[in-house]
Amino acid sequence: MQSSKSPLKRRPKTARVPTPARFEALGTRWNIQLMEPVESEAWSDLLKKIRRRIEVFDKTYSRFRADSWVSEVSRRAGNYQLPPDGYALLHFYEQLYQATDGKVTPLIGQTMAAAGYDAQYSFVPGELQRPARWEAALAYNSRQLTVRQPALLDFGAAGKGYLVDIIGELIEQAGVRSYLINAGGDIRHRSAQAEALDIGLENPLNTSEALGIARLNNQSLCASAGSRRQWGKFHHIIDPVELRSPRRVLASWTIAGDTMTADGLATALFFAEPAALQKRFSFSYAVLYKDMSLRRSPDFPAAIFTAEAS
């Protein structure tokens, strides 16, 4: 989306394609690259806006911060004003919740913390309890969230992808149409000339190797792998019913029109069959199972280096 209010000023004699911005935020590495010339001052101002927007998002949705909106919600039941970007995120999570029979849920926060993925990153498991069902705990509309019982919300399944989309919109509002955002593997690609980009698909068992090459063209690509953050018998995805991390799937890759969708579905594929998810969402996928068999949709645009299973 473009805006006439604050486009990046362009001076052909001095503007150049800026050096990519690389920084740490939300516990991961960010790489933002513009693919068209802009003035250095305008690029610097845009980066400041991006960093401020990331900070606002973190202070709103992080369950690791005592001063966040999510932490406030966890302390008592009641009605809470939704953040301006909260409705879209909650609505998407509700769709994921329904599509996975409750396995992907924002109510997983306390269970994750009890497993050791807590604010102190102790990674020392305690006693886990099943989170409440959505219907018993949450109700919302475009302005308000009602929490019927205190709940530590966790938006890790799709929150970072959503933030990548928000940052992408900031860049586009500044008048830039060709760029790449990579936030720890959550990737958003836009090209005014529709120039495709090749992305390696990381081997979850050996991160120095690629299992294949995906071709991205004005789309988003996200991956999820249990090997990325694991401790003891757990990794960063926990089944809210069985109270254990799923092991049947080693890794998943999804391509969709936006990063929030790709991010959330990469997690959902650990719990639901692809065909069931494709009834609700538009995306392509590849899934690597623990026996090293690979299943992918016919439209997943990748060359795979390993044997495949249909």
Model pLDDT for residues 103-116, shown as the tens digit of each residue? 999 999 999 999 99
**Rounded distance, CA 270 to CA 246, Å?**
7
**Rounded distance, CA 49 to CA 46, Å?**
5
- Can you give the pTM of this predicted structure? 0.92
What is the reported pLDDT for 131?
A: 97
Per the CB < 8 A criterion, the answer to whether 93 and 158 are in contact is yes
User: Would you say the C-alpha torsion 266, 144, 84, 151 has a positive or negative sign?
Assistant: negative
What is the reported pLDDT for 241?
A: 96
Among all chains, which residue has been given the structure tokens 């900031």? 170
For the chain, the first-to-last Cα distance in angstroms comes to 38
Of 94-103, 116-125, 155-164, the poorest mean pLDDT is in 116-125
**Rounded distance, CA 273 to CA 182, Å?**
27
What is the reported pLDDT for 207?
A: 85
Bridge partners for 222 per DSSP = 254
pLDDT above 70 (res 7): no
